[in-house]
Structure 1
Amino acid sequence: MMNALESTSTRPYLVRALHEWCTDNGLTPYIAVLADDSVQVPREYVQNGEIVLNVSFDATSALKLDNDFISFKARFGGVAREIMVPMDRVLAIYARENGQGMAFPVAVPSAEAEAEGDAPPAATGEPAAPEAAPAPRAGMQLVQPTDDGVDSDAPDTDPPPPRRKRPALKVVK
């Protein structure tokens, strides 16, 4: 019998579920990623050790949401890039349009593993308990839906971004 410490992480399953939920509801799934040496992302877009990536099917090609990695091809400034993100470096997945999603705790290596050089140093330099909630991220607000479908915690000052229409061809006779 497998105990909780031996079981696989729930993170990849939750990432896939929220990606599917965003896609099914016409929302744009974004992931916030801890950009350390283990991730393959364009470094010129990394800010404060993090990068936010659009992982919608429209923005990516060959998207794979595996248990260990998220990988895809995408264009950054018109240049095609191969992206590879270890699943344990995903900090959050959320919908661009309404901010609904889920944040994950940052993986903190043990002191023994860090001393042996087997794990990257913690992002903040301060170890946190694995069950501790992640710190709020600048520019990202995760919201909890209410019973009536209205978000009571959302600020009233910022209107939601306008929905962009997809380009369409018009037949002219």
Structure 2
Amino acid sequence: MMEMTPMSPRRPYLLRAHYEWLLDNDMTPHLVVDVTVPDVNVPMEFARDGQIVLNVAPRAVGNFEITNEEVRFNARFGGVPRQVYVPMSAIMAVYARENGAGMMFEPETAYDAELSSGVEDIEEPEDNITLVHEADLPDESSQEPSGDEPPRPPKGRPALRVVK
């Protein structure tokens, strides 16, 4: 029998592929995050049942990075700019808001070992969210409007004229 050599986790590769695929298809990617995993830095006031769903569309986040170990970005939550950090082991799923296309991630032994080794060291979680400066966020005026809100009409007099 052939011995299996250990391989790196596939989650970061699948996450990057699904993220790009959703963007290529004009969908809005969302991440489901387990907020009980150590080192997760998200706005806990928006978490429900140990999870939070994060809109990670380019128009919603700034300085977005997916590495093999983490996802990090800047975003506004309730109008307040925040810095978000999610270890790869805490990402449970990626999907499109519009139709649910995407995938849930299966448990991987590399992450199980990482989580079990840190369990003894865990103390009460703190809300370690960091405020970010306005300059770190994308300019809202240059962003296209999201599908959730109707476009705002320009201020001033209407530009339409009656032509006979």
- Given the two structures, how large is their TM-score scaled by the length of structure 1? 0.63
Match of 2:16 in 1: 16
Q: Deviations over 1:14-64 (max 9, x none)?
A: 111111011111100001000023200001011111100001101000000
2:47 is aligned with 1:46 = yes
Q: Which runs of 5+ in 1 are unaligned?
A: 121-162
Equivalent residue of 2:72, what SS?
strand
Structure 1 residues 9 and 97, CA gap change in structure 2 (3 angstroms)? same
| Distance (whole Å) between structure 2 residues aligned to residue 4 and residue 54 of structure 1 | 37
Count of residues in Structure 1 that have an aligned counterpart in Structure 2:
127
Please tell me the root mean square deviation across aligned C-alpha atoms, in Å.
3.0
| Superposition map of 1:92-103 within 5 A | 92-103=93-104
Q: Which runs of 5+ in 2 are unaligned?
A: 124-146
- Measured after TM superposition, the shift of residue 119 of structure 1 is 7.7
| Distance (whole Å) between structure 1 residues aligned to residue 70 and residue 14 of structure 2 | 13
| Distance (whole Å) between structure 2 residues aligned to residue 168 and residue 4 of structure 1 | 58
| Distance (whole Å) between structure 1 residues aligned to residue 4 and residue 57 of structure 2 | 32
Structure 1 residues 79 and 98, CA gap change in structure 2 (3 angstroms)? same
Structure 2 residue identity aligned to 1:48:
D
Match of 1:32 in 2: 32
Match of 2:87 in 1: 86
- Measured after TM superposition, the shift of residue 109 of structure 1 is 3.8
Equivalent residue of 2:22, what SS?
helix
Equivalent residue of 1:56, what SS?
coil
- Measured after TM superposition, the shift of residue 172 of structure 1 is 4.2
With 99-108 and 64-73 compared, the bigger mean Cα shift is at: 99-108
Structure 1 residues 34 and 61, CA gap change in structure 2 (3 angstroms)? same
Match of 2:70 in 1: 69
Structure 1 residues 68 and 165, CA gap change in structure 2 (3 angstroms)? same
Answer with 1 or 2: which has the greater Rg: 2
Equivalent residue of 2:13, what SS?
helix
| Distance (whole Å) between structure 1 residues aligned to residue 18 and residue 45 of structure 2 | 27
- Measured after TM superposition, the shift of residue 105 of structure 1 is 2.4
| Superposition map of 1:119-134 within 5 A | none
2:61 is aligned with 1:60 = yes
Greater RCO, 1 or 2 (C-alpha within 8 Å, sep 6+): 2
- Measured after TM superposition, the shift of residue 6 of structure 1 is 2.0
Structure 1 residues 4 and 117, CA gap change in structure 2 (3 angstroms)? farther
- Kindly report structure 1 stretches of 4+ aligned residues shifted beyond 6 Å: 168-171
- Given the two structures, how large is their TM-score scaled by the length of structure 2? 0.66
Structure 1 residue identity aligned to 2:10:
T
